[in-house]
Amino acid sequence: MNFLANQVDLSNAVDAPAIWTTLEALPQLPNRLVEWVGFQMNAPAWLATLLGMLVSAAVVVGVFLTCFALVSLVERKTLARIQNRYGPNRVGPWGLFQPVADGIKMLTKEDIVPDKAEKLLHLIAPIMIVIPAVLALGVLPYGKEWVPVNLELGLLFFFAVGAMTELSVFIAGWASGSKFPMLGSLRAISQMVSYELPLLISAIGVIMMTGSMSLPSIVEHQSQYNFGFISNWNIFTPWGLVGGIVFFIACIAEANRCPFDLPEGESEIVAGHMTEYSGFKYALFFMGEYLGLFAISGLFITLFLGGWSAPFAGLEFVPSWLWFFGKLVCVIMTMLWIRGTWMRVRMDQLMRFCWLFLIPLSLLTIPAAGIWRFCGDGFLAGLLGWGVTIPFLIIPYIIITVILNRRLAPATRQYHFAE
């Protein structure tokens, strides 16, 4: 047990610094346990590494499945509060056990498969939509020492596995053998493919500034401090602010959240590609949607909000993974607030907003990031960077907005009277 004691020292738990150190090392406890078991059994290095990765993945899945249950309840409670309703309040005190009741209901409901459905694909589609979200969650850096799988091309891997979601959604709609699921899947594909472009383009500026596609390296670059106390997050730069806003909007569209929830428009096409699913299959779609929301929100935090880094130099004693999940809570609550206050847009408005506004604006962040990098570091260089990049971004933004408003201006109403 000396090996474990060296990794997590609990002898000085009453001391505040020791408590923070213990909390920092807490997510690594399962990995240390696996390493200790492998050391005692003289296991080969490759086996110990493989077991460590599997244990890390299991910990991440367990954490986010718990978050899935909690966020589903918080979302219903938040929307009820916004809409002046009570929300779930029957199962347990204040409705806290509602996710447990929902899970039991989904597991016990009958699995109905339409007669015209492709039964094998109808079964595979819900599984396929969960796998990309789990794989994407596995490469995010949640803390200084909590990176389940550290890949040199982690950002590329994230976007690559995320592209599998479109395929699974299309398979779900086509295999159902019904009109509404097919229409919902076509909507989802057109929306997700379109909004992946500003998502990818906004991330290019981050790669230019960091010089790496490794997600831990991107966070390390932002963990430095300007003037000795202000964090060096990308969102605090002109190009990062614009890129972060574009990335956040694209995240909402990629996650099919309101006001971009057209693929699941309840008032139009029932539940979109999930219309012909019930029971556990429907629960898998529901879970995959939330896991994907956590993954894309975590990527936004990693690229623009400093990941696990603290906002100020004096707060570094707080465990890094607490900073990450605190930021994740803020991002998720912002999306819930948007869902409760914004109305659903039309399909033509959705596509026009992407192709005529977000994509041109995201393209501007690439040369803006280049200008910012060319200006260099230091106080005077920072002032020069702000002075050059702000007009470079604002002037085209005004031009794009004016042109877009003119194209979207309502037509003049004409009255025809009988002569």
User: What sign does the CA torsion over 270, 271, 276, 279 have?
Assistant: negative
Interhelix angle 279-304/179-210, rounded to 10 degrees, is 20
312: which strand partners?
A: 230
Residue 309: exposed, middle, or buried by beta-carbon count in 10 A (0-12, 13-18, 19+)? buried
Extract the tokens encoding 341: 């206050």
Buried b (16+ CB within 10 A) or exposed e, 52-88: bbebbbebbbebbeebbbebbbbbbbbbbeeeeeebb
pLDDT at 412: 62
User: Would you list the DSSP string of 121-182?
Assistant: HHHHHHHHHHHHHHHHHTTS--SSS--SS--TTHHHHHHHHHTHHHHHHHHHHHHTTSHHHH
Condensed to tens digits (0 to 9), the pLDDT of residues 329-350 reads 999 999 888 888 888 888 888 8
| Sequence-separated (6 or more) residues with CB below 8 Å from residue 392 | 364, 367, 368, 371
Residue 171: exposed, middle, or buried by beta-carbon count in 10 A (0-12, 13-18, 19+)? buried
230: which strand partners?
A: 226, 312
Buried b (16+ CB within 10 A) or exposed e, 248-275: bbbbbbbbbbbbbbbbbbeeebebbbbb
Do 224 and 236 touch, CB atoms closer than 8 A?
no
Higher confidence at residue 360 or residue 400? 360
Do 321 and 67 touch, CB atoms closer than 8 A?
no
- The domain ranges of the chain are 2-43, 110-403
CA 245 and chain centroid, separation? 14
pLDDT > 90 in the chain, percent: 8
User: 74 falls in which pLDDT band (50, 70, 90)?
Assistant: confident
Distances in Å between the Cα of 11 and the Cα atoms of 6, 19, 34 are 11, 10, 22
Cα–Cα distance measured from residue 257 to residue 367, given in angstroms and rounded to the nearest whole number: 30
User: What sign does the CA torsion over 120, 121, 125, 127 have?
Assistant: positive
Angle at 272 between CA 266 and CA 277, to 5 degrees: 105
pLDDT at 248: 93
Condensed to tens digits (0 to 9), the pLDDT of residues 352-364 reads 888 888 888 888 8
User: 7 falls in which pLDDT band (50, 70, 90)?
Assistant: very low
User: 228 falls in which pLDDT band (50, 70, 90)?
Assistant: low
User: 3 falls in which pLDDT band (50, 70, 90)?
Assistant: very low
User: 301 falls in which pLDDT band (50, 70, 90)?
Assistant: very high
Condensed to tens digits (0 to 9), the pLDDT of residues 119-146 reads 888 888 888 888 888 888 888 888 887 8
| pLDDT exceeds 60 at position 49 | yes
Cα–Cα distance measured from residue 373 to residue 216, given in angstroms and rounded to the nearest whole number: 20
| pLDDT exceeds 80 at position 198 | yes
Residue bearing tokens 């005692």: 40
pLDDT at 9: 41
| Sequence-separated (6 or more) residues with CB below 8 Å from residue 388 | 371, 375
Q: Rounded to 10 degrees, what is the CA torsion of 113, 114, 120, 125?
A: -80
Condensed to tens digits (0 to 9), the pLDDT of residues 16-33 reads 467 767 766 666 776 667
pLDDT > 70 in the chain, percent: 82
Residue bearing tokens 């806290």: 96
Lowest mean pLDDT among 82-91, 151-160, 248-257, 400-409: 400-409
| pLDDT exceeds 90 at position 104 | no
Global model pTM greater than 0.85: no
Q: Which helix (H) or strand (E) holds 400?
A: helix 379-408
Higher confidence at residue 8 or residue 146? 146
Which of the 8 DSSP states describes residue 268?
A: H
